[in-house]
A and B are shown apart, each in its own frame.
Chain A
């Protein structure tokens, strides 16, 4: 959008500038945006800025008098600590596996819901139930279910095994809880994407000789790409910040903590505001990077060419 405007401006004689009407309109536009911008600054920029400010200090709440400026030392401490890298590894693992599984399951569910001739409403409601349950509540029921002695799921396992106390089984169960809870959300987003695929185009592919697999892979998925990317972006950002499921199921013990758990532990358990804030800022940077990658790499590659889509 910008280049053509700029080109036109350049073509005008320098002195003229934008006309008076245009200038006034611009001012009005800025004025109208201002309240929203102020609110945004107050609720997001301020906390983020404050976190950055804290992350540059040695600040232990137990000894508030000893707070002092340390520059980037906190970041150095975090980035050289194996604990951070271990937590980051767990987070990335949970994110990648759970989002991949959710995408596959969500797509399958969306296809079923799209095809369903009768009871569409009922099916959609039923599918949404897990998403409607408060995460902590759901996490506690998983926790009870997997605890030996009390849990019906633990009872199915060979005697004496306590999956939530071992690293890999526990991570698996965290992923299971994540997938169970958010697949419906994925399915609904993808269902909206499926509605974008014209019926006749799919029929054309049938006549052209595509099997159902080929239709999905070569026609339906490419046409759904924008919806898939939005769903993936939402879910990846969400999953990267995973906290409640881990907090309830394992508390982050036995090497199951995510970066959010690590940040929480430093901030609220160890009361080390400097290190905790540095971790928070690093999480923020990771999330921003993920969003950037999605938008840059895939955002511009919508099917067809843009003009018609607008």
Chain B
């Protein structure tokens, strides 16, 4: 158990690729931290640097207060779970789990006891003498976990440990891993590209993009107060809706109608010296069916429902907004390349690009009592107090409460 401190960690591969840029992160003793981001954003590289499997180009890495930049993996006392599990195919499950202890010259009785204990926790006792090739995917995954926990290391590092499992097993193992980590209280760094996994597992989530940390915070914090377009779009499912907007006299003119600014937003925009053209972000649950509510707060608009999906507890309503400035057009004019990149990346990541539904596509999450019908009109109320306003030039969330005043 130990604290892990990344201080200005940078990785440049020999071929010149800058995979990780200036990561500063303090992982407290016993904390469960998730590194999340789209594929290729440098998560594995960061994890491998902590493990000692990749050299650190720049910066300092401390584990339990000691600088370990130049230490070999075996001298760092950390355990790792790989995506492919990386079990030793020629050894039995027992020998796989006891391998590290055997190398550490623990005596036979201790090894046997620890392996038995881990096997009991992971429900592997009856498989101890089998070879990995004869196990199911879920069992192999548990052996990989077992190999890590028998060592009682300073920290666990896990690189997408569940992505080779089928959906149901993944959810099951996710819960098990969370419970196991609580129980052992070992510092854990967990890498995933799946934001649902990130949100459900971690004490704190680190969102990365193109080698740069975007935001660090609790899952709820990331959800409620994303610092930029990227985090806003990456966290949450279905993702946040983005609309082009024109700012005029304390009102945001969008394709869903004019959204008056409340005091908080107005002050934030003034402080940030906001441009006229903006991007508005509305989470699906910040819409409600106007017919179901009494109070008259917020703004109502009328849309035509294209698709209605009921998942029992909620109803998702999809529509493309009619009239108003098309956000894509606005975005193309306004945003710099980098920000377009962000949205394109998000669209690709969420699969939205593949369906041909671009940003003008809006999803609302409504109570199951809604009368919305496909093809019919629907009055929606927008909770304007919860909207986010982004600067299209930088992607920054201008309404973020911790935004430093300029």
Contact = CB atoms under 8 A, between A and B. Distances in A.
Contacts of B74: 206-211
A201 B80 CA distance: 11
Interface in B77-118: 78-80, 82-84, 86-90, 99-100, 103-104
B132 interface: yes
B89 A210 contact: no
B72 interface: yes
A204 B87 CA distance: 8
B121 interface: no
B147 interface: yes
Contacts of B104: 209
A33 interface: no
B208 to A, nearest CB: 21
- Give the residue among A204, A219, A303 with the most B Cβ atoms within 10 A: A204
Interface in B134-167: 134, 147, 151
B217 interface: no
B323 interface: no
Contacts of A225: 90
A206 B133 contact: no
B86 A200 contact: yes
A209 B74 CA distance: 4
Contacts of B376: none
A304 to B, nearest CB: 4
Contacts of A218: 99
A207 B133 contact: no
A82 interface: no
Contacts of B53: 203, 206-207
A207 B51 contact: yes
Interface residues of A, number: 25
B174 interface: no
B82 A200 contact: yes
B134 A305 contact: yes
Contacts of A203: 53, 80, 82, 86
B73 interface: yes
Contacts of B82: 200, 203-204
Contacts of A211: 74
Interface string A298-310: 0000011101110
Given A206-B73, A222-B90, 18 more contacts: A200-B82, A200-B83, A201-B88, A201-B89, A204-B80, A205-B99, A206-B52, A206-B74, A208-B79, A208-B147, A209-B73, A210-B74, A303-B89, A303-B90, A304-B132, A305-B131, A307-B134, A309-B133
A207 B80 contact: yes
Q: Which 7 A-B pairs have the closest CB atoms?
A: A303-B90, A304-B89, A200-B86, A204-B86, A208-B100, A209-B74, A304-B133
A117 interface: yes
Given A206-B72, A208-B147, A304-B132, A223 B89 contact: yes
Contact of A198 (B73, B86, B103): B86
A307 B86 contact: no
Contacts of B99: 205, 208, 218
Contacts of A307: 133-134
B133 A209 contact: no
27 contacts: A117-B14, A200-B84, A201-B86, A203-B82, A204-B80, A204-B147, A205-B88, A205-B99, A206-B72, A207-B52, A207-B53, A208-B99, A208-B100, A208-B147, A210-B103, A222-B88, A223-B89, A225-B90, A304-B90, A304-B133, A305-B131, A305-B133, A305-B134, A307-B133, A307-B134, A308-B133, A309-B133
A205 B74 CA distance: 9
A214 interface: yes
Contacts of A214: 103
Contact of A207 (B14, B79, B90): B79
A206 B52 CA distance: 9
Contacts of A117: 14
A309 B131 CA distance: 13
A119 to B, nearest CB: 14
Contacts of B78: 207
Interface in B12-61: 14, 51-53
Nearest to A204: B86
Contacts of B79: 207-208
A303 B53 CA distance: 25
A198 B83 CA distance: 12
Contacts of A219: 88
Contacts of A204: 80, 82, 86-88, 147
B84 A198 contact: yes
A205 B86 CA distance: 9
A307 B132 CA distance: 12
A89 to B, nearest CB: 36
- Give the residue among A208, A222, A303 with the most B Cβ atoms within 10 A: A208
A307 B82 CA distance: 23
Interface string A91-134: 00000000000000000000000000100000000000000000
B131 A304 contact: yes
Interface string A15-39: 0000000000000000000000000
